Amino acid sequence: MPGPASSFTDLLSKQRTVAPPGYNRWLVPPAALAIHLSIGMAYGFSVFWLPLSRSIGLTQSVACPEDMSFLSQVFATSCDWKISMLGWMYTLFFVFLGSSAAVFGHWLEHEGPRKAGVAAAFCWGGGLLISAFGVYVHQIWLLWLGSGIIGGCGLGLGYISPVSTLIKWFPDRRGMATGMAIMGFGGGAMIGAPLADILMRHYATPTSVGVWETFVTMGAIYFIAMICGAFGYRVPAPGWQPEGWTPPAQNKAMITKRHVHLNEAHKTPQFWLLWGVLCLNVSAGIGVIGMASPMLQEVFAGKLIGIAKAFNDLAPDEKALIATIAAGFTGLLSLFNIAGRFLWASLSDYIGRKTTYFVFFTLGIALYAFAPTAGQLGQIAVFVGIFCVILTMYGGGFSTIPAYLADIFGTQFVGAIHGRILTAWSTAGVLGPVLVNYIREYQIDHGVSRAQAYHTTMYILAGLLVLGFICNLLIRPVSERHYMTEEELAAERKLAHEAGARA
Amino acid sequence: MNDASRKTACGDGQRLTVVVAWILVGIPLAWGVYETFQGAMKLFQ
C-alpha cells in the first residue's frame, strides 16, 4: 500500500495534471497569476528597508562603531543594518532567480508545472519564515539566506513554472498567455508593498517595528496562494488543440513547428542573440528605472511645484514636496510597466516577435536619446510621457521573450530554455545599476552638473539599445541540424510522461 | 440525464469556476493597481 509521502508525490506528478476532455483553458492563467503575483513581491522588498534599518533603535538607526569590520556587522546584534547591506537582497534575488531557473528548467519539463509550483511555494514562503527568524534574532545573514538565496530559488522556479504549460494551452495566442502571467510578476509588488505597509503598522509596538510578524503573515499568505496556483495547473492532453483552431497551413519562417533540445539550444547563435536582446533591453530599462525619480527631481527641481529654483537651492520642505511628486511618478511608471507586459506580448501575436522587438529598440533609441532634450526644454508632460512609454517596452521585453523562444526553438523545451535565458536578466540586474551609478559618479567627480550628468547616461543606455537592435536583426530560423529527430522527440516525450503525443 | 445536458451542466460549472478563479486573482490585483494609481495621482496634484 502506498504511504502518505508517495501519495503526495503522486498528486504532484505530471500525469496527474493532464486535463480531462472539455477542460476550460482559461482556468490556467489565474493559477499562473496566483504564483506570479506572490513571487512578484520581490520587487517591493524595499518597503522593508527603512523599518529594518532601525529595528534596534526603533525610532532612529543605531549605527555600528566605525572600526567594526563588515563580518562583525553581519553578526552584530547591538547596532542596526545599513540600507546598503539590506540592498544586497536584490542582487541575491536576481542572481538566484536566473540560476535556479537555468538549473531546474530541465527538471520542470520532465516533472511538470505542479511539482515546480509547490517547490516554489516552499522556497518563497519558507524563505520568508527564515527571514522572519533572522529579523527576530537580528542576524542579517539569515535574511540573505532565507529570502535572498532560498526565496530567490523559489522566484526562479515559480517564474518559469507556467511558461511551457501556457504556451501549450494557447498555441493561437502564445504572447498573450505568457504576457498575462508575467504581468503578474510585475504586479506582485503593487499588492505586496501596500499590504506590507499595512501589516507593519498593525504589528508595530513600542518594542518592535513589526517586520518579523509581517514576514510570517506574508509568508503564510504567499504559501497558500502559491499552493492553490500550483494545484490549479493543468497540462493539455497530448495532441490537444483549441476547439475550432487549426495550425496555420502556411509555414511562417520565424515560427518553427519542430523542436530544439535544451542541450542543443545554447549551441545555436539564436540562443545567444536572444540572450543579448533580453540582457540589453533589461539593462537599459533597469538603468532608467533607477534614474527616473532622481532625474525628474534634479532636472525640473522647483518647476515641479511652480517655483523657479534649481535643485540645490530648494528648502528642505520644498525638497520633501517634490520627493512626494517623484514617488507618484515612480508609481505611474509601475502601472505602465505592468500594462506593457500584457499589451506588447498580446500585440506580438499579430505583428510577430521580431517586429515587436524591432519596435522596442527603434522607438527606445529615439525616446532615450530625446529624454534629455525634453528635460532641457522644461517639458514635464513630454518627459513623463517618454518614461511611461519606455517602461511599457521594458515590461514588454520580459513578457514577449517566452513566445519568441517558442517560435524559434519549438515548445518541447521552451520552459527550460526560458530558464536559461533568464541568466540574461541576472546579468542585467547587476550590469544596469552598476553602469548607471559609475557613469554618474564619474561625471559628477569631473565637475559635470547633477542635471547634465543624466544626459550622457541616457545616451549610453540608448547605445545599449543599438546593440540590442543589431542582435534582434541577426536572428534567423535555427539551422536544420539543431532540430530533434522524430525518434529523439518520441524518446524525450516518453521521459516527460507525454507518451502518445504528436510531433 | 442525457449526454448533451450533462455536457452543458459540466460546461456551466467550469465557466463558474473560471469566473471565481479570475475574481480571486483579480480582486487583489485591482486593489494593488488602485493603491498604486492613488500614489501616482500625486504627480498631477
Inspect the interface and report whether the beta carbons of B28 and A338 lie closer than 8 Å: no
Three cell numbers written together for A419: 530558464
Whole-number pLDDT of residue A500: 47
CA distance B10 to chain A (A): 9
pLDDT in tens, A67-112: 888 899 889 999 999 888 888 888 899 889 999 999 999 899 889 9
Name the residue in chain A with its Cα closest to that of B19: A27
Confidence of residue A7 (pLDDT cuts 50, 70, 90): confident
DSSP notation for A222-251? HHHHHHHHHHH--BPPTT---TT----SSP
For residue A493, what pLDDT band results from cuts at 50, 70 and 90? confident
Residues of B in Cβ contact (< 8 Å) with A37? 25, 28-29
Q: Does A320 touch chain B (CB under 8 A)?
A: no
Tell me the three cell numbers of residue A214: 509581517
CA distances in angstroms from A152 to A342, A396, A410, A475, listed in the order given = 24, 22, 28, 31
Which positions ≥6 away from A407 have C-beta within 8 Å? A174, A254, A255, A256, A353
Torsion of CA A239, A349, B21, B16, to 10 degrees: -70
Model pTM? 0.89
Mean pLDDT for chain A? 90
Instruction: Identify the pLDDT of residue A345.
Output: 97
Paired residues of A260 in beta bridges: A483
Q: Which residue of B has its CA nearest to A226?
A: B25
Which residues of chain B does A332 touch, with a Cβ-Cβ cutoff of 8 Å? 40, 43
Percent of chain A with pLDDT over 70: 97
User: What residues form DSSP beta bridges with A205?
Assistant: A208
* Strand segments (E) across A125-227: none
Residue with cell 540600507: A83
User: Choosing among A35, A190, A297, which should be mutated to test the B contact, i.e. which has the most B CBs within 10 A?
Assistant: A190
How far is the C-alpha of A405 from the C-alpha of A274, rounded, in Å? 8
Residue of A nearest to B11 (CA): A22
Interface of A with B in 20-39 (CB under 8 A): 22-24, 26-27, 30-31, 33-34, 37
Q: Quick check: A167 and A255 in contact, CB under 8 A?
A: no
The band of A456, judged by pLDDT with boundaries at 50, 70 and 90, is confident
Those residues whose C-beta lies under 8 Å from the C-beta of residue A323, and which sit 6 or more positions away, are: A297
Q: Which residue has the higher pLDDT, A435 or A37?
A: A37
Tell me the C-alpha distance between A164 and A498, whole Å. 14
**Owner of C-alpha cell 533603535:** A57
Q: Which of B11, B22, B40 sits opposite A328 (nearest CB)?
A: B40
Could you give the percent of chain A with pLDDT greater than 90? 58
Task: Specify whether the CB–CB gap between A97 and A425 falls below 8 A.
Answer: yes
Q: Give alpha helix (H) positions in A27-150.
A: 28-39, 49-52, 70-75, 83-86, 88-111, 113-137, 140-143
Q: Is A329 in contact with A293 (CB distance < 8 Å)?
A: yes
pLDDT of residue A185: 92
Work out the pLDDT band at A498, boundaries 50, 70, 90.
low
Residue A240 CB neighbours (<10 A): 18
Closest chain B residue to A328 measured between Cα atoms? B40
With beta carbons under 8 A apart, name residues in chain B contacting A26. 18, 22
Interchain contact A122–B (C-beta under 8 A) = no
A483 strand-pairing partners: A260
Higher pLDDT, A340 or A324: A340
Distances (CA, A) of A150 to A184, A192, A230, A292: 21, 19, 18, 31
Contact between A190 and B42 using a beta-carbon 8 Å cutoff: no
Q: CB contact, 8 Å: A385 with chain B?
A: no
Size of interface A-B (CB pairs under 8 A): 76
**The three cell numbers locating residue A48:** 522593508
Closest CA in chain B for residue A37: B29
Secondary structure (DSSP) of A357-416: HHHHHHHHHHHHHHHHHHHHTT-HHHHHHHHHHHHHHHHHHHHHHHHHHHHHH-STTHHH
Give B 5-44 residues with CB within 8 A of chain A: 7, 10-11, 14-15, 17-18, 21-22, 24-25, 28-29, 31-33, 35-37, 39-44
Nearest residue in B to A232, CA atom: B21
Alpha-carbon torsion (A241, A246, A248, A249), positive or negative? positive
Q: Could you tell me which chain A residue has the CA closest to the CA of B15?
A: A24
- Taking alpha carbons only, the member of A335, A73, A260, A39 closest to residue A161 is A39
Best of A332, A380, A383 to mutate (most B CBs within 10 Å, chain B): A332
Task: Provide CB contacts within 8 A for A34, sequence distance 6+.
Answer: A184, A225, A226, A228, A229, A232, B24, B25
> Do A33 and B29 make contact, defined as CB atoms within 8 angstroms?
yes
Kindly list the distances between the CA atom of residue A127 and the CA atoms of A83, A95, A152, A223, A383, in Å, as whole numbers in the listed order: 20, 16, 9, 10, 40
pLDDT of residue A402: 96
pLDDT tens per residue, range B1-45: 444 455 555 567 788 999 999 999 999 999 999 998 888 887 776
Tell me how far apart the alpha carbons of residues A95 and A114 are, in angstroms, rounded to a whole number: 24
A24 Cα to chain B: minimum distance (Å): 7
Q: Does residue A222 belong to the interface with chain B, where contact is any CB pair within 8 Å?
A: no
- Residue to mutate among B22, B33, B43, B44, with most A CBs inside 10 A, is B43
* Cβ(A348)–Cβ(A403) below 8 Å: yes
